[in-house]
A and B are shown apart, each in its own frame.
Chain A
Amino acid sequence: MMDVVDQLGALRAGALSRRKFTKGLLAAGVAMTAMPLTGRRAIAAEGDQATYFTWGGYDIPELFGPYIAKNGVPPNFATFGGSEEALTKMRGGFVVDVSHPCNQAMPRWVQSGLFQPIDTSRLSNWGDVIPELVDLPGNDAGDGKVWMSPFDWGQTSVTYRTDLFELEGEESWDMLWDARYAGRLGSLASGADAWWCGAIKAGVDFADIDSEGAFEKIAAVMREQRPLIRTYTDDTTTLEQALSAGEMVASMTWNSSAVLLQSEGIPVKFARPKEGALTWVCGPMIHKDAPNLDRAYEVIDSLLSVEAGHFMINDWGYGHSNAKAFDAFDAETLAGLGLSKNPLDVLNAGHFQHPQTQEWETRMNETFEQIKAGF
C-alpha cells in the first residue's frame, strides 16, 4: 500500500508544480477581492435575518413583500425535499428560525420538543386567517397560542398531458398505475405524499392506515407501481420538465406544477381523481431556540399577508390561509384551480391526511425506501 501512497504523493507533487501555485492563490485572491463590499454587506445582513427552512420552491422573495419592505432583504432560506428529512436534520442540530411542516407531521414535530408556540397576538394578519384551518389536531398550544400557523393548503394529485395520455373513463389514481405508459410515469419521492396516494389507490381508509393490513395492501400497490415509474424525485422541476418534454405522460404532483406548466402553454390538467385527491394544510412553526425571534414573526406575518396569498393562488394554484386573499378572485377562477373560499370544501372532498405516530412514520418511510429500491 505504501508504494501506492507514494504514487499519490508523487503525482500530487509532480502535477502541481510552482506554476499552479500562482494560479491557485490568484484565484483565491481574485475571489476575495472581487467582492469585498458585497461580501461584507451580505454577511452583515445575513447575521441578522431570520432563516426560513422550507420546501424547495418556496424560497422566493414574492412571499416576503412585507418582510423586505421592513428589512430591505428577504430572509435567509434553507430548503428540504421532505418534512421527514427536515425534522431529522433539525434533530441532528440544525437550528433555524422558522420551518414549514404540514398538518400530518405537526403533532410529531411538537412532540420532538424542538419548537415554541406561536403567540398569535404578535401577528398582524392573524385576524384574517381562516379559523377552520387553525383548528387542526394537535395545534392547540394553550393560552390561545398555536404550534403551527396555517399558511398554504392544497392537493396532491395527478398532473397529466391531455394530448399524450388517453383517458379510459374518468380521471383516477389508476392513471399512475397504467401499464400502457410504463416508464413514462413519475412520482414524488417522499412517502409523506406517495404512500398516502397509494393508500387512496388501494382503497384504504385513512383512519385505518396504521393497521397491519393497510401496510400490506399499500406496499403491494406501491410495488406494483414501481416498474412503471421513470423516476422518483422530490424535485418538482424534474417532473415538470419531464412532462413538458413528453418524457413523462403523467405524474404525481402538487397544484403548482400543473399551474406552472399551463402558464407555459403545455397541455396538462390537474386531475380530479374519482377516488379523491390527497389534501393537506401546511404552515410555519418557530424553533424553540430561534436566534432571531422578532424577525421570525415577521417571516410568518409576511407569509400570511394578502400579497403572499395573491401570489400563492394566482401563480401556483395553492390555497392560502388569509381569507382576504381570496377576494381578488371570482368563484369561477377558484373553481378552475380546484380551490374555494371555504377550504374545508376542498379539503374534506379529498382525503385529508391524519397525523400518525413516529413509529408508523419511520416504518412507512423504511418500507417505502425499500420498495423504491426494488425490494
Chain B
Amino acid sequence: MAETSLSKSRSGQAAARASGSRLTRLLNRSETLRGYLLMAPTLLIMGIGIVVPFLILLMISLWTRQGFGFDTTLTLVNYARAWSEPIYGALLARSFWISGVATVATVALCYPMAYYVAFHVHRNKMMWLILMTLPFWTSYLLRVFAWKVILGYEGVINSGLSAAGLIEQPLAFLLYSPTAVIITLAHAWAAFAILPLYVSLEKIDKSLLEAATDLGDGPVARFFRITLPLSMPGIIAASFLIFIPTTGDYITPALLGGPDGTMIGNLIQIQFGAVNNWPMGATLSIVLMLWIAALALVFLLITRKMQERIA
C-alpha cells in the first residue's frame, strides 16, 4: 500500500467521513488505485484500440484464407512465406531504404533552418515557427498531388528546364520512381523534423557556448562539441517522427512511385483489397512492426554510444 502524505490523508479522511462508504475509504487509502481509476477510460480505449486489435491481428496472421472466409487452423505458413518469398524481403528493404533516405535528407535539410530560427532569429520566433508549419495545414494528399504536378512530364521542372534550353526531352525519371517518392516524403514530413530540432536547439544553454568561446573554441568546434550533441534528442525525435510513419506509407508510392517505387505499405493494403488475403496482410503488418522495433532499438543504441563517446 502506498504511503500518503499528511495533507492528503487529512483531506482523504474528510472525504471518507463525508461519504462513509467502504469503497471510498479504500480509494482514499490507495493512491495507486485512484490513479488507475482516473486513467481507466483511457486505458479502456487504448485497450480496445491497441491490445484487442493486435491480438486479433496476430490471430488472423496464423490463419489462412479459404474461399470467402478463413481456415482457422493455426499455422505459420504466412510467416514462412513472408520470410522465404523474395518479394516481401525486397519490398521491406526498399521501404526502409526510401524512408531512411527521406529521413536523413529531411533532418539534414531542416537542421540549418531550425538552427537559424533558434540562434539567429531574435524577434517573432513564434511567427517563424508558424510560417514553417503552416503549409502542413493543407491536405497531405493534395501536397503529394502537387509534387506530381511539379515532377510530371509536362510539369514545372521539365517545362522550366526545356524552356531554358537545358534539356530536349523531358526527364522521365523524375516521376514514377523511388526518387519521386523520396522527394515527396521529405517535403511532406519536413514539419515533423523542424519542430523537434528547433525545440532541442532552443533549449541549449547559450552560456555553454559563451564559455566555449571564451575558452578559445572556434565556431566549428563549438558546433561539434556542444550544439550537435545537445541537440541529439531533437535529432532522434525528428528521425523517429519521420521514419516510422513513412515506412508504412502507401499513398505516395501509389501516386508517384511507378512500378519500381512500390513499398511494403502498398503490398499490405493490396492484401486487404484486390488480393483479398487478410491473413497475409496481418502477417506483413506484424513483420513490419517487428522490423521497425528492431531498427529503432539499433538506432537508439548507436546514438547512445555516440553520446557517451562525446561526453
Contact = CB atoms under 8 A, between A and B. Distances in A.
Touch test A–B (CB under 8 Å): yes
Contact of B259 (A85, A246, A374): A374
A3 interface: yes
A12 B194 CA distance: 12
Contact of A88 (B153, B259, B260, B273): B273
Interface stretch (A165-173, A262-270, A362-370): A362-370
Q: Which of A11, A231, A369, A372 has the most B CB atoms < 10 Å from its CB? A: A11
B126 interface: yes
B272 A92 contact: yes
A17 B259 contact: no
Contacts of A111: 68
Interface string B163-184: 0000000101000100000000
B275 interface: yes
* SS of B interface (majority): helix
Nearest to A27: B137
A229 B199 CA distance: 46
26 contacts: A4-B236, A4-B237, A7-B200, A11-B198, A12-B195, A19-B130, A84-B273, A84-B274, A84-B276, A190-B274, A231-B258, A232-B259, A247-B154, A247-B170, A247-B172, A359-B67, A365-B275, A366-B275, A369-B275, A373-B87, A373-B259, A373-B262, A373-B266, A374-B90, A374-B259, A375-B85
B274 A365 contact: yes
A235 to B, nearest CB: 9
A4 B240 contact: yes
Contacts of A365: 274-276
B279 to A, nearest CB: 12
Interface residues of A, number: 47
A25 to B, nearest CB: 14
B65 interface: yes
B91 A373 contact: yes
Interface in B175-226: 176, 195-196, 198-200
A4 B276 contact: no
Interface string B79-91: 0000001110011
Contacts of B170: 247
A88 B267 contact: no
A356 interface: no
A89 B276 CA distance: 10
Given A91-B68, A190-B274, A247-B153, A373 B195 contact: no
Interface string B46-70: 0000000000000000000101100
B241 interface: yes
B274 A242 contact: no
Nearest to A114: B68
A375 B276 contact: no
A373 B262 CA distance: 6
Interface string B218-260: 0000000000000001101100110000000000000000111
A335 interface: no
Nearest to A88: B276
Contact of A229 (B65, B233, B237, B259): B259
A100 interface: no
A231 B274 contact: no
Contacts of B196: 7-8, 11
A159 B195 CA distance: 49
A30 interface: no
Nearest to A189: B274
A89 B236 CA distance: 38
Contacts of B129: 15
Given A20-B130, A362-B275, A375-B87, A230 B176 contact: yes
Interface in A243-273: 245-247
B233 A372 contact: no
B87 A82 contact: no
A358 B68 contact: yes
Contacts of B87: 370, 373-375
Contacts of B275: 84, 362, 365-366, 369
Nearest to A184: B172
Given A11-B195, A231-B258, A358-B68, A373 B153 contact: no
Nearest to A87: B276
A56 interface: no
A15 B133 contact: yes
Contacts of B198: 11
A12 to B, nearest CB: 8
Contacts of B40: none
Interface in A286-337: none
B300 interface: yes
B288 interface: no
Contacts of B266: 373
Interface string A15-57: 1010110000000000000000000000000000000000000
Contacts of B233: 3-4, 7
The 6 closest A-B pairs by CB, nearest first: A247-B153, A84-B274, A11-B199, A375-B87, A7-B237, A85-B273
A305 B4 CA distance: 79
A22 to B, nearest CB: 13
Given A230-B258, A373-B91, A366 B277 contact: yes
A316 to B, nearest CB: 24
A229 B68 CA distance: 33
Contacts of B153: 242, 245-247
B78 to A, nearest CB: 13
Nearest to B130: A20
B256 to A, nearest CB: 9
Nearest to A191: B274
A120 B198 CA distance: 67
Contacts of B234: 7
A365 B276 CA distance: 9
A246 B262 CA distance: 24
B292 interface: no
Nearest to A367: B275
B270 interface: yes
Nearest to A359: B67
Given A20-B130, A111-B68, A232-B259, A369 B267 contact: yes
